[in-house]
Structure 1
Amino acid sequence: MLKNNILKNFYSTHSEQYILASLILYNNSWNDIYYFLSIDNFFFKNHQIIFSIILEFLNLNIDFDIYSIYNRIKIYSNFNFLNYLNYILQKTPNPYNIVYYAHIIHNMYLLRKILLFSNNIVNNILKSEKLNISEMLFNIELNIFDIIKDHLKEKSDSYLLSNIFNKYFLDKNFLKNFCISTGFKDLDNIIKKISGGDLLIVAGRPSMGKTSFSLNIAKNVSDKYSLPVIIFSMEMSSNQILLKFLSCILNEDQDFINKTLNSEILNNFNKNYLKLIYSLKIFIDETVNLNIIQIYTKCKFLIKEHGSLGLIIVDYLQLMNSTNPSQNRVLEISEISRSLKCLAKELNVPIIAISQLNRNLESRTNKRPLISDLRESGSIEQDADIVLFIYRDEIYDSKNLLNKNIVEIIVSKHRNGPLGTTNLYFFDDKSKFSDF
């Protein structure tokens, strides 16, 4: 067990008293620290009680002083709060230092969480006769993610308009990495490329080419921008994804590659093809039933290793696990889609999430998808910045040769621009899309 005296180095009595006194004397100073300081950040129970009463007044937008706090708090008769409040107010704090002391309190709180969490890991290992390593690692990831979320509260989400203007127009590196092209000219003309932080949903019925379309974008991003791309493939194996990439790059039928390609034949291919294959920074993760915490951890590791990340692809959204399992799958999918959007914003990386459609459209005469066709949609359409539907008329009317190899990309939602439809050529046997 963790000894109590170890924690004595991980709290600051002075800082906690300073914050409480500042808030009592200068109510408006709360505006400087509201975005990260919370009740559990305080170490002492008495300080938590005082701070909770202060929050009540702040939330009701009522001015308060030492006496209004005491009148609300005097039900706690086991402690002389009035004398204590008078004592801390004698410190006459300077409100301009409130952020500094609030950071001390918050950082001490995070260190206590890390210390207690680490101690629990050690105790569980020592006490358990039979360890479930996978379960233990998942719990570690969960706790680390929780601590990271608390730490990220410190970052202000508010930026002065002039600072945003300067960054947008004057920072060349910012402009250079601000958008990525899909690789398809007409589609880019509609959606104006994809920005960091965007959640893009690619949806369609089976056999429409959703995965191949996303892989074509991945190849373009890695090749054109020399940026790493990670593909979370929960349905296909890494070998199947490899075959799709080889087929697209080498412009050969997948069956031919799968049955006849060996190292000797491969050496006879155009060296430029081989150079491209070896230059692509594309990572394939075939772990099944991933949750958002695992995806976050893997992406952060790649960013740490390679300095950046150009694109994240999730294939597909409905195969992900929720971190809060429930009997209502729609609510779980809603939580997953919100988490993917938050992850895209946090990492400033676009995410393409492939999604299934329900069978309702099969009963319609016009089988082109609508937003309402998103399977277990929940809040997918609300969280997404862009929703693209892939539709192949030849699947339903194979006798009409005019439809052969033609795919409609239907932009059904575009948060920052127009809607529309564009056509692409799709060679299914080669997993290859090209401009119409």
Structure 2
Amino acid sequence: MTEPDEALEAGGRQVPQDVPAEQAVLGGMLLSKDACAQVLEFLRGNDFYRPVHERIFSVIQDLFGSGVPVDVVSVHTALMESGDLSRVGGGAYLHTLIASVPTAANASYYARSVYDRAVERRLIEAGTRLVQLGYTGSRGTSRSTDDLATLAQQAVFEVTAREQAEDFNALADMLQPTVEEIEAAGKRGGEMVGVPTGFTDLDRLLNGLTPGQLVLVAGRPGLGKSTLAADVARHAAIRAGQASAIFSLEMSKVEIVMRLLSAEARVPLHVLRSGQLSDDDWSKLAKCMGEIADAPLFVDDTPSMNLMHIRSKAQRLRQRHDLRLLVVDYLQLMTSPKRSESRQQEVADLSRGLKLLAKELHIPIIGVCQLNRGPEQRQNKLPQLSDLRESGSLEQDADVVILMHRDDYYDKESARAGEADVIVAKHRNGPTDTVTVAAQLHLSRFVDMAIV
């Protein structure tokens, strides 16, 4: 599809480009909505070497962004309406693009090749500008050598920089939308805007879990931090109908579902594990399964997940099922694909990555964390923010930190047996407080004690 000398520089050298990969990318996007979503995450129109490919990509991008199904027919129609159909080779070329790729599954792989070649071309352009700056210098101009160095740095930075002007807004442009949001909140009459936790007092304090928040639920082993996180996901999915996902690095799918059934059917967990159910237990279980079967709750128990895996899976769930809440259990079991100087630095990278993912997907993410032995060394056993294990960055990155505490965990004769304190130790957007809930851990759940 290229002329013999189209990809040659004046010096006869090959310009970095991969036309077959460009065709494979576009063909994959014409075949699959998922391929469109994956490619559009990082590829832009000006990454394509051939202008006709850039034009086709722009049409696909516009259709996908408008919610219109992307296929040969819709793209053909859009190109015909814009008068560009003949310029890109007509409808026959669109079918050539589809024929160039056997499966849409590899679209992101080919997109990476297209992007890499684009970066190489920009490097050549930046190098040319640097050479020109070096020859021109500051002679006969008002520019100093410091100015030249700044221009050179800018040229190199622009190689991989993306045009994201929409990320920056003047204050005058943001005032009206902010006032509108305040007015909308007033019209809701105090109605919660975030994902409900299922605990009345906690929802009043936090106004639900807000999209973009990183919420840490931390505690010593056995205090019920995983149970609380699962309770929130269970309530969001089953009661509120909001798609939720649990990525568990500690428990298997079967164990998680067994805990969920125990909580919903009110059949003790140890009875489910033993299989010694009475007729009444089986009846409760059957009724429960019928009620929750269609709940939008997803579970992944892949061991040794790293941030890249979590990001990829969460993005797919967001695209396919409108994911509204993600639970990662638990953070210190995650691994980092890149080498870090220490475990503390690795955990810092992971917590920062989860915070950025929450903002990117516009959902709250609950990260379950272990506390160190600090509470056990104090007289009152109450946990503190400083007890967050392995990294102070956990406290820094989190919008909300919830610490779990149970008196009867340390004192079996406690007058508060059966109660648990959900301590909101950090709340970036509001007050901190302690919410008391009932601990029914034999049923793998906590129960609201608020008086409505």
- Asked whether the 8 Å contact 2:261–2:285 carries over to 1, the reply is no
> Cα distance, 1:422 vs. partner?
1.3
Q: Name the residue aligned to 1:404.
A: 417
Q: In the alignment, which of 217, 224, 243 is matched to residue 209 of structure 1?
A: 224
1:255 and 1:364 mapped to 2: Cα distance?
Answer: 33
- Asked whether the 8 Å contact 2:401–2:424 carries over to 1, the reply is yes
Amino acid at match of 2:130: I
- Asked whether the 8 Å contact 1:424–1:433 carries over to 2, the reply is yes
> Cα distance, 1:293 vs. partner?
1.3
Cα displacement string for residues 15-67 of structure 1 (whole angstroms, at most 9, x for unaligned residues):
xxxxxxxxxxxxxxxxxxxxxxx9995641444427999xxxxxxxxxx9982
1:52 and 1:348 mapped to 2: Cα distance?
Answer: 43
Q: Name the residue aligned to 2:206.
A: 191
* Runs of 5+ consecutive residues of structure 1 not aligned to the other structure: 14-37, 54-63, 76-101, 111-149
> Cα distance, 1:279 vs. partner?
2.0
- Asked whether the 8 Å contact 1:222–1:310 carries over to 2, the reply is no
Change (3 A) 1:291 1:274: same
Q: Which residues in structure 2 correspond to 1:108-123 (within 5 Å)?
A: none
Q: Which residues in structure 2 correspond to 1:331-346 (within 5 Å)?
A: 331-346=345-360
- Asked whether the 8 Å contact 2:196–2:240 carries over to 1, the reply is no
Amino acid at match of 2:369: S
Q: Which has the higher contact order (CA 8 A, sep 6+)?
A: 1
Alpha-carbon RMSD across the aligned residues, in angstroms, is 3.8
Q: Name the residue aligned to 1:285.
A: 300
What SS does the corresponding residue of 1:194 show, helix, strand or coil? coil
- Asked whether the 8 Å contact 1:50–1:73 carries over to 2, the reply is no
> Cα distance, 1:333 vs. partner?
0.7
Q: In the alignment, which of 321, 336, 339 is matched to residue 325 of structure 1?
A: 339
> Cα distance, 1:276 vs. partner?
2.7
> Cα distance, 1:324 vs. partner?
2.5
Cα displacement string for residues 78-137 of structure 1 (whole angstroms, at most 9, x for unaligned residues):
xxxxxxxxxxxxxxxxxxxxxxxx9xx98xx78xxxxxxxxxxxxxxxxxxxxxxxxxxx
2:143 and 2:164 mapped to 1: Cα distance?
Answer: 27
Cα displacement string for residues 356-407 of structure 1 (whole angstroms, at most 9, x for unaligned residues):
001122111111100000001231111100000010110110023x222100
Q: Is 1:49 matched up with 2:130?
A: yes
Q: In the alignment, which of 312, 315, 318 is matched to residue 297 of structure 1?
A: 312
Q: In the alignment, which of 227, 248, 254 is matched to residue 242 of structure 2?
A: 227
Change (3 A) 1:351 1:420: same
Q: Name the residue aligned to 2:17.
A: 7
Q: Which residues in structure 2 correspond to 1:91-106 (within 5 Å)?
A: none
Q: Is 1:67 matched up with 2:141?
A: yes
Q: Which residues in structure 2 correspond to 1:104-143 (within 5 Å)?
A: none
> Cα distance, 1:226 vs. partner?
1.6
- Asked whether the 8 Å contact 2:15–2:121 carries over to 1, the reply is no
> Cα distance, 1:152 vs. partner?
8.3
2:317 and 2:268 mapped to 1: Cα distance?
Answer: 32
Q: Name the residue aligned to 1:161.
A: 175
What SS does the corresponding residue of 1:4 show, helix, strand or coil? coil
2:436 and 2:364 mapped to 1: Cα distance?
Answer: 23
Q: In the alignment, which of 368, 377, 389 is matched to residue 363 of structure 1?
A: 377
Q: Name the residue aligned to 1:20.
A: none
> Cα distance, 1:259 vs. partner?
2.3
> Cα distance, 1:322 vs. partner?
1.8
Q: Name the residue aligned to 1:350.
A: 364
> Cα distance, 1:225 vs. partner?
2.8
Change (3 A) 1:360 1:267: closer
TM-score scaled to structure 2, two decimals? Answer: 0.64
Q: Is 1:218 matched up with 2:228?
A: no
Q: In the alignment, which of 316, 326, 332 is matched to residue 330 of structure 2?
A: 316
Aligned pairs, number: 329
- Asked whether the 8 Å contact 1:40–1:48 carries over to 2, the reply is no
Amino acid at match of 1:276: E
1:154 and 1:341 mapped to 2: Cα distance?
Answer: 22
Amino acid at match of 1:411: V
Cα displacement string for residues 332-356 of structure 1 (whole angstroms, at most 9, x for unaligned residues):
1111111111100111000000000
> Cα distance, 1:268 vs. partner?
3.0
Change (3 A) 1:177 1:287: farther
Q: Is 1:421 matched up with 2:434?
A: yes
1:52 and 1:261 mapped to 2: Cα distance?
Answer: 81
What SS does the corresponding residue of 1:280 show, helix, strand or coil? coil
Query: What percentage of aligned pairs have identical amino acids?
Result: 32
> Cα distance, 1:282 vs. partner?
1.1
- Asked whether the 8 Å contact 1:289–1:319 carries over to 2, the reply is yes
- Asked whether the 8 Å contact 2:384–2:425 carries over to 1, the reply is yes
2:133 and 2:335 mapped to 1: Cα distance?
Answer: 36
Q: Name the residue aligned to 1:128.
A: none
Change (3 A) 1:379 1:153: farther
- Asked whether the 8 Å contact 1:42–1:48 carries over to 2, the reply is no
Amino acid at match of 2:363: V
- Asked whether the 8 Å contact 1:39–1:51 carries over to 2, the reply is no
TM-score scaled to structure 1, two decimals? Answer: 0.66
> Cα distance, 1:193 vs. partner?
1.5
Change (3 A) 1:52 1:341: farther
> Cα distance, 1:190 vs. partner?
1.8
1:51 and 1:383 mapped to 2: Cα distance?
Answer: 44
- Asked whether the 8 Å contact 1:311–1:351 carries over to 2, the reply is yes
Amino acid at match of 2:422: I
Q: Name the residue aligned to 1:87.
A: none
